[in-house]
Structure 1
Amino acid sequence: MVGRLICFVAGVLAISGGLANAHGSHSSNQPPSEDWATRHMMEEHHIESFDAGSFFMLHDYDSSGSWTVDEVRKTYGLDDESNSGVSEPSKQAAVRTVFDLFDPGNTGFITREAWLKADADGLRLPDLGFGPGHHGDMEYEYEIHHFEKFHGDDAKEEDLTHPEDIEHFRRHDEEEAAEMRLERLETMQLVESNIPAKFRRNF
């Protein structure tokens, strides 16, 4: 499933080269990278070769032609649970660092043109110490960081016994249980006598 998505993205963006054999860790306890974008692409997308334009397009989540503050936060994984212990001021300072580099006119956006010019001038995304930029959903992060590395397409249910597998399916069960509770609540009849008097309409 994820493999097909990666191949599709690679084809659409005309990214040359193959998928990396090395898989990234969810740990952010790695030494800072001088080329954070390359680390991000290898660990989060399993893509080795790319150009500045394709990197920009892949992380322009709304296809607007520019990066917003929220898109930079997402790319760096600042709102991912792996960075839940980082203070909001630290996250905002990190975003400002990126915008200071790639938005010299202080417009509040990083345009594709500004990005390409900065890249041609040798400017690179800094490693801000927040890890490789986990920005996929729960399923994507599990598959790209664990399932592909330890199991593969021919894995059977009985093979999925690693702590990461157990935690992943525990979270799935929690989500399904929450959805079922919500569905039950939505189908319940409203009993007027159960509503506190102060919230009832007086006709």
Structure 2
Amino acid sequence: MLKSTLLLLLPLILAHSTTTTAHQSQTADPPKSWAEQHLEQEHHINNFDPGAFFTLHDFDSSGTWTRAEVLRFYGLSQPDSTFSEDTRSHVWRTILDSMDFNHDGEVSREEFQSFCDGGNTLPDFGLGPGHHGDDEYEYEIHHFEQYHNEDTTEDELTHPEDIEHFRKHDQEREAEERQVALEMKPIVEQNIPRKFLVDGA
């Protein structure tokens, strides 16, 4: 009896399962574009607006994106970047080919807006979300904010990222102290080559 009942209910169960799966697939959020991921991870911004994105990455406020600026927001101009020049050239050439409509070697705000209005988005080159802040900014946004908070004490900053961050701070401070000491060091006349001495001085 139970077996017969299950057989009768099987079509209804399968139909419900199919409907539920279809509904879930229709309501699932579409995958985020590279630009959206970049804004979330680098700037804590959860909505993409072409004009705002352009302005945010127009680092010299010139109204255009140059090669240096595009490479910067793709994370290819960091001091410790290991990407080859071929990779950098490929990224820049792809951007130009996609949106430099007047072929002047730069991307204007209007060109980027037109590119986005056409349903396009910045390409994902598989290079990560892009990092373009200095060391302090990158440490704050990618490590401190994720693993620490304003109540964290100095003794609790023991992660490898914390140690490396403060090691750099110590090196910079020591370099500054050496420079100050050098500038304050009195001139020793005996150390000045004779040809630079003025007779009677």
TM-score, normalisation: structure 2: 0.75
Could you tell me which runs of 5 or more consecutive residues in structure 1 were left unpaired when the two chains were aligned. 1-32
Aligned counterparts of 1:192 and 1:42: Cα–Cα separation in 2: 60
Output the CA distance in 2 between the equivalents of 1:92 and 1:193: 54
Offset at residue 166 of structure 1 (A):
0.8
Match of 1:15 in 2: none
Q: Please state if 1:104 is matched with 2:101.
A: yes
**1:25-104 pair list within 5 angstroms:** 35-81=33-79, 84-104=81-101
Deviates more, 1:47-56 or 1:84-93: 84-93
Any idea what SS the aligned residue of 1:78 has? coil
Which among 181, 186, 189 is matched to residue 184 of structure 1? Answer: 181
Task: Flag structure 2 segments of 5+ consecutive residues without an equivalent.
Answer: 1-30
Where 1:158 maps in the other structure, the secondary structure is helix
Q: Residue type of the partner of 2:144? A: F
- Tell me which residue corresponds to 2:123: 126
1:29-50, CA deviations, whole angstroms, 9 ceiling, x for partnerless residues?
Answer: xxxx872111111111111113
Cα 1:196–1:148 shift into 2, 3 Å: same
Q: Quick one: distance in 2 between partners of 1:151 and 1:166?
A: 14
Aligned length, in residue pairs: 169
Identity score, percent: 51
Asked whether the 8 Å contact 1:34–1:126 carries over to 2, the reply is: no
Flag the 1:197–1:114 CA change in 2: closer, same or farther, 3 A: farther
Q: 1:57 is paired with a residue of what secondary structure?
A: helix
Q: For 2:70 and 2:177, how far apart are their aligned partners in 1?
A: 35
- Report the Cα distance in structure 2 between the residues aligned to 1:96 and 1:53, rounded to whole angstroms: 22
Provide the residue aligned with 1:162 in structure 2: 159
Deviations 1:27-85 (A, max 9, x none): xxxxxx87211111111111111311110111111112111111111111111145x22
For residues 190 and 69 of structure 1, do their structure 2 counterparts lie closer, same or farther at Cα, with a shift above 3 Å needed? farther
Counterparts of 2:143 and 2:192, CA distance in 1: 48
Which structure shows the higher helix fraction? 2
More displaced stretch, 180-189 vs 35-44: 180-189
Shift of 1:192: 5.6
For the structure 1 residues 112 and 192, does the alpha-carbon distance in structure 2 shift closer, same or farther, using more than 3 Å as the test? farther
